[in-house]
Amino acid sequence: MLSLTLKEGQSINIGSDVKVMFAGAEAGRIKVLIDAPKNIQIAREQKDDSYVPHQKISDSAKKKIGRIYKEERQLNKHKELIKKNGTRTSTKNWTF
């Protein structure tokens, strides 16, 4: 089993179709966002090994996922500019 430590907003890819993003933690719980094709079954397993089918994603969760992806794309573009130009640019006026 692979064990990873992630910061909020970081993600891992499983194959080319599945992305798992750490969306935060509070009160002993973590929030994980999973982007996968509809044909992949996703189920939460609890300590008692009971099966809990995935629930339909809420509109607010969809918006949050969209914002996180947008931020990630903007940061990646910024990193590419730094690599290309070899200089840093200010990020304090960025809006997400």
Cα pseudo-dihedral 88, 69, 4, 48, rounded to 10: 160
- At 90 the pLDDT is 58
| Residue pointed to by tokens 């939460």 | 44
pTM: 0.46
Two tokens, residue 37: 């094709």
Sign of the Cα torsion 31, 33, 77, 74 reads negative
State the Cα–Cα distance between residues 60 and 16, nearest whole angstrom: 26
Per-residue pLDDT of the chain (96 residues; tens, 9 = 90+): 788 888 888 999 999 999 999 988 888 888 899 999 988 888 877 776 666 666 777 788 888 888 888 888 888 888 888 888 876 555 555 555
Q: Say what the pLDDT of residue 76 is.
A: 85
pLDDT of 20: 92
pLDDT at 81: 84
- 46 vs 43, 49, 50, 51, CA distance in Å? 10, 5, 6, 7
